[in-house]
C-alpha cells in the first residue's frame, strides 16, 4: 500500500478521521518472519534486501514472533539526521558499515493470520502490543491524531530527516498496490541557476539547475518538473544558448536527478546567467535535489554570483 501526494494536511474539521506519521528519509521495506523460521526483507519494488541488512534480519528473527509480516522504513540515522546516501551504499557490501534501523509502521499478519482487512486503528493497536518489548535496531514509528503534532513534524524536524507527514484514514484496511494514504511533503523555496534545458530552447519542457560549490564552480543540482505553457513562453524569451565552454558535460548522468544510474540525459546547454526560484522538497544531499523541483518565477534581480553554496551536513563517519 502506498501514498499519493497531497498539497496540505487535512483541516481541523476533518483531521479526527486520520492518524499522522512522520515520513522518514529511508527505504520502504516489508519484513517476513515465516512460520518455518526464515526471515526475508523485501523492497517496495520486491527486490530482496535480506543479505544487505543482516542486523535487521537477525533482529526480526530474535524479536518478532513466527508468522508475522511487518511494513516499515529502513533508515540509517547518524550525525543527527537520516543519511539516505549511506543507506544506498549498503547495496554495495563494501560501501558503508553504518548500522541501519527498521522503523515499523504497520503489521499485516500475526501468527500466520492475515490482518490486512482490519482498519488501521486496530492494526496499529495490534502493532503496539507486538512491539512493546522490542529493542534496537527495531523501533515503532511514532503516530499521532493531533494535527498540531503533525504540523510540528513538518516544521521543526526537517534537519533530522523528516520529509513530511503520511496521513492514514483510521477506518481503512491495508489495500495492496493501492494509493490510499496521503503524503504531504515539507517544501521550501530556493534560488538556482539555469544551466540547460530539456526540449527546445525557445519553449523548454524542463530546466536543468545548478548551484555554486565552495570554489565557485557551477555544479548540477537538479531539474524542474514539466513547465507550464506560460512558463515555457516566458523562459523561451530569456534563455541564451551557450556561447563558450560550458561547465557541464554534453550529457549528464541521470543519477544527478535522483533517477536510476546508468543512463545519460541529453539536454541543450544555456549560458548560466538566468536565476530562477523553485519550489523544492527537503531531500537535498550531495549538492543536489533528489526529486524534481517546481518552477516558481524568474529572479531577474539576481545574478549567479549572488547565490551562496548550499550548507554542508557535517559527516564524522
Are 143 and 105 in contact, with CB atoms under 8 Å apart? yes
Tally of CA atoms within 13 A in the half-sphere of 132 that contains its CB: 4
Which pLDDT score is estimated for 287?
A: 81
For residue 199, pLDDT over 50 is answered with yes
For residue 251, what is the enclosing H or E element?
strand 251-253
CB 207 within 8 A of CB 223: yes
Instruction: Give the phi and the psi of residue 93 in degrees, each rounded to 5.
Output: -55, -30
Q: Tell me the CA distances in angstroms from 37 to 40, 114, 189, 286, one per residue in order.
A: 10, 18, 49, 40
Checking if the pLDDT of 201 tops 70, the result is: yes
So which residues are the catalytic ones? 23
**Is residue 313's pLDDT more than 50?**
no
- pLDDT value for 249: 87
Cβ neighbours around 81 below 10 Å, total: 20
Say what the pLDDT of residue 285 is: 72
Q: For the CA atoms of 231, 236, 241, 242, what is the dihedral angle to 10 degrees?
A: -20
pLDDT at 282 exceeding the cut of 80: no
- How high is the pLDDT of residue 85? 78
What does the mean pLDDT of the chain come to? 88
Instruction: With CA atoms as reference, report the closest residue to 20 among 44, 37, 3, 32.
Output: 3
Burial class (CB in 10 A: 0-12, 13-18, 19+), 222: buried
Per-residue confidence (pLDDT) for residue 311, from 0 to 100: 55
Residue with cell 507527514: 165
Per-residue pLDDT reduced to its tens digit, 5-57: 888 899 888 889 999 999 988 899 999 999 999 999 999 889 999 999 999 99
> Which tens digits make up the pLDDT trace of 213-231?
888 889 999 999 999 999 9
Phi, psi of 35 (to 5 degrees): -65, -25
pLDDT of residue 113: 96
Smallest CA-to-CA distance from 278 within 292, 268, 265 is with: 292
What's phi and psi for 288, nearest 5 deg?
-155, 160
Report yes or no: 269 and 196 within 8 Å, Cβ to Cβ: yes
Give 32-44 pLDDT, tens digit per residue: 999 999 999 999 8
pLDDT band of 317, cuts 50, 70, 90: very low
C-alpha 169/C-alpha 120 separation (Å) is 7
- pLDDT, tens digit, 9 for 90 and up, residues 138-151: 999 999 999 999 99
More confident residue, 183 or 86: 183
Return the closest-CA partner of residue 187 out of 291, 304, 259: 291
The secondary structure of the chain in percent helix, strand, coil, rounded to multiples of 5, reads: 20, 40, 45
Confidence of residue 189 (pLDDT cuts 50, 70, 90): confident
Residue with cell 523460521: 37
Structure confidence at residue 118 (pLDDT):
97
Domains and CATH numbers, the chain: 2-185 (3.30.470.30), 187-306 (2.40.50.140)
Give the pTM: 0.72
Phi first, then psi, for residue 127 (nearest 5°) are: -65, -40
The secondary structure of 18-53 as a DSSP string is EEEEEEESSEEEEEEE-TTS-EEEEETT--B-GGG-
For residue 153, is pLDDT > 70?
A: yes
Per-residue pLDDT at 235 exceeds 80: yes
Residue range 67-125, pLDDT digits in tens:
999 999 999 988 778 888 788 788 775 556 789 999 999 999 999 999 999 999 999 99
Amino acid at each position: 500500500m502506498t501514498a499519493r501526494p497531497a498539497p496540505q494536511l487535512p483541516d481541523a474539521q476533518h483531521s479526527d478521521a486520520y492518524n499522522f506519521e512522520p515520513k522518514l528519509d529511508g527505504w520502504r521495506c516489508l519484513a517476513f518472519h515465516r512460520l518455518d523460521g526464515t526471515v526475508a526483507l523485501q523492497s517496495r519494488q520486491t527486490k530482496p534486501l535480506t543479505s544487505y541488512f543482516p542486523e535487521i534480519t537477525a533482529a526480526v528473527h530474535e524479536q518478532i514472533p513466527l508468522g508475522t509480516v511487518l511494513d516499515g522504513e529502513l533508515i540509517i540515522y547518524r550525525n543527527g539526521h537520516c543519511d539516505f546516501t549511506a543507506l544506498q551504499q549498503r547495496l554495495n557490501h563494501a560501501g558503508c558499515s553504518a548500522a541501519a534501523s527498521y522503523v515499523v509502521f504497520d503489521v499485516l499478519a500475526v501468527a500466520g493470520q492475515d490482518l490486512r482487512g482490519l482498519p488501521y486503528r486496530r492494526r496499529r493497536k495490534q502493532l503496539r502490543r507486538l512491539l512493546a518489548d522490542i529493542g534496537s535496531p527495531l523501533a515503532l514509528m511514532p503516530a499521532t491524531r493531533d494535527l498540531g503534532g503533525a504540523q510540528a513534524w513538518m516544521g521543526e524536524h526537517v534537519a533530522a530527516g523528516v520529509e513530511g507527514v503520511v496521513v492514514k484514514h483510521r477506518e481503512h484496511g491495508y489495500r495492496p498496490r493501492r494509493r490510499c494514504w496521503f503524503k504531504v511533503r515539507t517544501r521550501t523555496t530556493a534560488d538556482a541557476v539555469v544551466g540547460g534545458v530539456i526540449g527546445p530552447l525557445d519553449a523548454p519542457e524542463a530546466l536543468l539547475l545548478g548551484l555554486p560549490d565552495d570554489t565557485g564552480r557551477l555544479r548540477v543540482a537538479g531539474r524542474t518538473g514539466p513547465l507550464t505553457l506560460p512558463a515555457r513562453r516566458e523562459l523561451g524569451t530569456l534563455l541564451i544558448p551557450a556561447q563558450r565552454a560550458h561547465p557541464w558535460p554534453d550529457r549528464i548522468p541521470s543519477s544527478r536527478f535522483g533517477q536510476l544510474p546508468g543512463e545519460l540525459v541529453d539536454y541543450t546547454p544555456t549560458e548560466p546567467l538566468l536565476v530562477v526560484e523553485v519550489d523544492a522538497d527537503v531531500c537535498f544531499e550531495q549538492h543536489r535535489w533528489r526529486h524534481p523541483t517546481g518552477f516558481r518565477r524568474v529572479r531577474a534581480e539576481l545574478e549567479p554570483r549572488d547565490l551562496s553554496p548550499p550548507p554542508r551536513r557535517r559527516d564524522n563517519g
